[in-house]
Amino acid sequence: MAEAHQAVGFRPSMTSDGAEVELSAPMLQEIYLSGLRSWKRHLARFWNDFLTGVFPASPLSWLFLFSAIQLAWFLQLDPSLGLMEKIKELLPDWGGQHHRLRGVLAAALFASCLWGALIFTLHVALRLLLSYHGWLLEPHGAMSSPTKTWLALVRIFSGRKTMLFSYQRSLPRQPVPSVQDTVRKYLESVRPILSDEDFDWTSVLAQEFLRLQASLLQWYLQLKSWWASNYVSDWWEEFVYLRSRHSLMVNSNYYMMDFLYVTPTPVQAARAGNAVHALLLYRHRLNRQEILPTLLMGMRPLCSAQYEKIFNTTRIPGLQKDHIRHLRDSRHVAVFHRGRFFRVGTHSPSGLLSPRALEQQFQRILDDPSPACPQEEHLAALTAAPRDMWAQVRSSLKIQAEDALEAVEGAAFFVSLDSEPAGLTREDPAASLDAYARALLAGRGHDRWFDKSFTLIVFSNGKLGLSVEHSWADCPISGHMWEFTLATECFQLGYSADGHCKGHPEPSLPQPQRLHWDLPEKIRLSISLALRGAKTLSGNIDCHVFPFSHFGKSFIKRCHLSSDSFTQVALQLAHFRDRGEFCLTYESTMTRLFLEGRTETVRSCTREACNFVRAMEDKEKTEPQRRALFRLAVEKHQALLKAAMSGQGVDRHLFALYIVSQFLHLRSPFLDQVHSEQWQLATSQIPVQQIHLFDVHNYPDYVSSGGGFGPADDHGYGVSYIFMGDDTITFHISSKKSSTKTDSHRLGQHIEDALLDVASLFQEGQRPKPRCRGLPEEDSGHGGSCLPCHKRGSKATTKSTNY
C-alpha cells in the first residue's frame, strides 16, 4: 500500500547527509549471501514443517510404509529387490543375537529413503504444476480442458490436510523476465505521459542501455534467481524499506479501519480485551499452522512466508540500515495510555488470559490516576523521527532504560488506549471519517510505537483500528489477520448485555506493570525535536474517506467487467478531471504466486485508458464509442495485472537491474531516469479474503471498511479502496495540505462523478442512484452517503451480535 512512497524515495548508495557510501561487497558475494539467507530460512522452516507434519504425505505415511515393508519381509517377499540385503551388509555386525535388529534397521533405512524419494517427487511434480499460469490468462468464468486437467492434478498432489506452509517448498521461483520485453513494456507505459521529444530521448537511452549494460546486469540477476529463493524480494525489503532514512509515519505505515457503521460495544476496555484475545488466538493458530494457505480463485496457493513475522516483531533503527527483530514468542503486550507505558501479561500458568481478564487489566490502566513522567508522554515520537536520529537516541536509551525499552520492543504488539473517540458520527459524518483516518495514520505523533509490526488502537468510544509498519509484510497479510480479529471478537467472543466481555474477572491477577524511563537531558531534547517534526508531518496530511453507495461489485459483474479494472480506469478519469493531465499511476499487486514473492507495480495509466478519458471529455463522442473504448481500457488493465502477477511486470525487474548496477558501479542513464520517476497517483485495492467469516446479506454493516496510506509524492495522491459487500465501495484518499495542486476532498468528488459517468454508459445514460443505508444527511460532504437508519439501528447499536 504505502510502498510507492518508499519505492520512489530509496537511495541505495546515499547516506542521510547525502554522501556516497560504497556498496563494497562484490556482486557475486552479495548473490552468495542472498542465497545463504534463503537456505537458512528453508532449513528452519523444514524442521518446523517436519515437527508439525506439513508434507504432501504426512510423517504417518512413513510408519505405514515401514509397516508394509516389514509385513512383506515377514511374508518372505522383498519389495526392495535386494537393496535391504545390501544395507544389512553395510551395517555393523553386532553378533548373531542382533541379526533381527539389523533387519529392522535396514528396513527402516530403506523405508526412509523410499519415503524421502516419494516426498521429493511430490514436491517436484507440484512445483512443475504450480509453474503453469495458463489459467490466469483465460477469460473470467471460462476454464479450458488443460486447466481443468491441471487443477485436478494440483488437488491430487496437494494432499488432503493442507496447513499454512504446506506449499512453500513446492512454489516455483519468480522468473526473471526478458530484459528486452521489460524495456519495451516500460516505453509503452510512459508513452501516454511524455511529449514526443521526451519519449524519443527516453527511447534513445533505453536502446543504449540494451546495447551496453543490459546483458551483464541480466546475467547477474539470472545467477541470483538460480541460487536465492527470490531474485528481488530481499533487495526490495532492504533497499526500499530498511535503508530508507525517512520517518515511518505517513511515509511507510498504513492503517486498517474498524466496522464503518457498527461499534459492538462502547466500553473501551472491553473492546480492547476481546480484540487482544482474538489477535492472540490468531497467533496461536499461526504458530500451529492451522491457518489455511490462501488459494487464489480457490485453486492456486500463494506464498505464506510473510505470515511468519506478524507478531513479536520490531523494526530496529540503525545508522545506515534498520533491521527486523523477530522473537519466537512473547507473552505480553505493551500498552500506552495518557503518556504512560505499561507491560500487560497475556498468559497465566493455565494459558491465554480470557477476554474478561484482559478487559480487567486494561480497565486498571484506564483507572490509574498517576501522571506521566517528564517527556515520557512524548517518548514514542522518536519512532516517528528520521531513522538516523532515532538510531542514535536509541543507543543511549538502551543504556538508560534497557528494561522498559525491551518490554516495548519485545512485546507481541503495541496497544494504544486513546483518550479521544473516533469513527462515523451522525452530526458530521464526512469530517468524522476523515479525522478517524488521520488518527489511525498518524495520531498525535507520539501515541504510536511505529517500529512495532502493528499497533492496535482502541478509542475511548470502543472504536478500533490498526497502524501497520510496512517492511515485514504487505497489506493482504495484516488484512487477513484483521478480518479474523473483527469476526472473532464480535461474533464468536461477543459481549454481555452491559457491553463487557463475557466471563468473570480475575481479581488475583497482578496489576499491569508501569514502565519507568530514565531520560537524561540529551534524550529529552531529541524527543522535543522529534515531536515537532511528527506534529508537522501529521498536520500536513489531508485524509478523506467516503463510502460510495450508488453501486458496487455486483453491478460491475453484471456488466461482465473486472471490478478492479473498472475502478482503476474510472480513477484515471477522476484524476484527469482533477489535474487536467495524465500521470504515472502506481497500483500494487501481489507476486505471491512465487516463493517469497511480495509485490509488483501495475502501471494503470495506459494509452487505452487515456483514449477513453479523452473520449469522455469530448462531447462529440457517442456513448457506444465511449463504451467500446472503456472495454478496451479494462482489457488492457487486466492484461497488465495478469502479467504482473505472473512475474512479467516492469518495475521490480528494473529495480533489481538498478541495484546490480549500483553494486557494479556501472552507471546507466536509463536506469537513473527510471528511478527518478514520481508516482503522483498511488493506488491499491484492499482485498476481502475471508468473506465466509461475515454474513454480508443478513448483517451488511459488519464488514471491514478497509484502510489507507499516505501519498507517494508531495504533490500526489494516495488512493485505496475496498468493495464492501456487493453494493458499496469505500475509498480512502490522502494528500499533502502543503501542496497547492492536490485536495483529497476534491478528488473524492471527481471519483464519485467518474464512477457514475462510467456506470451510465451501461445504463442507457442513467446514473445509478445510491442505495440508502439509512437517514441521509443534508451535508454529508460526499454526495449520497448516509448513516444507519432506525430500522437497522438495533443492529448498529447492539453491544454484541452473534450468528
> Which of 164, 337, 340, 361 shows the shortest CA–CA distance to 277?
361
How many helices (H) and strands (E) the chain has is answered by: 25, 20
> Which of 703, 248, 275, 264 shows the shortest CA–CA distance to 456?
275
Encoded amino acid at 669, one letter: P
pLDDT at 42: 62
pLDDT at 138: 76
Q: What parts of the chain have a pLDDT lower than 50?
A: 13-22, 24, 52-54, 773-803
pLDDT at 784: 38
For the stretch 404-442, pLDDT in tens is 999 999 999 999 999 999 999 988 999 999 999 999 999
Give the Å distances, CA to CA, from 83 to 51, 91, 110, 121, 282. Answer: 29, 13, 8, 20, 47
Q: Which of the residues are catalytic? A: 470
- SS3 label, residue 140: coil
Helix axes 623-645, 607-617, angle to 10 degrees: 160
Geometric angle at alpha carbon 787, from 784 and 793, rounded to 5°: 145
Length of the chain in terms of residues written: 803
DSSP state of 703: S
Taking the C-alpha atoms of residue 68 and residue 368, their distance in angstroms, rounded to an integer, is 66
For the stretch 364-411, pLDDT in tens is 999 999 999 888 999 999 999 999 999 999 999 999 899 999 999 999
Taking the C-alpha atoms of residue 683 and residue 90, their distance in angstroms, rounded to an integer, is 64
Q: Looking only at Cα atoms, what is the longest distance across the chain?
A: 100
Specify which residues 708 forms β-bridges with.
255
Domains of the chain: 33-158 (no CATH), 180-238+543-761 (3.30.559.10), 289-474+508-542 (3.30.559.70)
- Dihedral of CA 242/244/245/251: which sign? negative
Taking the C-alpha atoms of residue 653 and residue 299, their distance in angstroms, rounded to an integer, is 27
Encoded amino acid at 265, one letter: T
> Which of 762, 758, 751 shows the shortest CA–CA distance to 784?
751
pLDDT at 297: 75
pLDDT at 470: 95
pLDDT at 18: 42
DSSP states of 441-460 as a string?
HTTTSSSS-TTBSEEEEE-T
- Here the cell at position 259 is 466496522
